Amino acid sequence: MVFTFQPPFSAGLSGYVAEISAAYVCASLGIVPTVRHADYIASWLEVLRSDPRAIVQAAGHASRSADWLLGLLPPELAPAGVGEQIEEDGPENETAPLREAA
């Protein structure tokens, strides 16, 4: 079976995307998520293993969602790098700096 982001699978996958988004936001803000977050994400792995593209697509959607949510924060509360445009060309951008969680 191949999973796609078409109904009805997309409706169920939206919860998975939301949970990954929450994990990204928590990590960016230094919030330690509960074990339930990890358990819920892990529960989807068996389903998604049959279509590796679905995992990549879900992670991409989650990343854009987390970026959007973090972009709503006032600048003084936003994590480092949020809202900044990163240019893809040039040696100074070969590796993105990581921010340690508090």
Q: Domain extents for the chain? A: 9-72
d(CA 39, CA 76): 33
Cβ atoms of 64 and 25 within 8 Å: the answer is: no
Q: What would the two tokens of residue 93 be?
A: 């951008």
Give the burial class of 77: count Cβ atoms within 10 A of its Cβ; 0-12 exposed, 13-18 middle, 19 or more buried. Answer: exposed
Question: What is 11-25 written as a DSSP string?
Answer: HHHHHHHHHHHHHHH
- Does the pTM exceed 0.85? no
Q: Which of 2-6, 22-26, 67-71, 90-94 has the lowest mean pLDDT?
A: 90-94
Confidence of residue 85 (pLDDT cuts 50, 70, 90): very low
**Mean pLDDT for all residues in the chain:** 71
pLDDT digit string, tens, across residues 9-29: 455 678 888 888 988 999 898
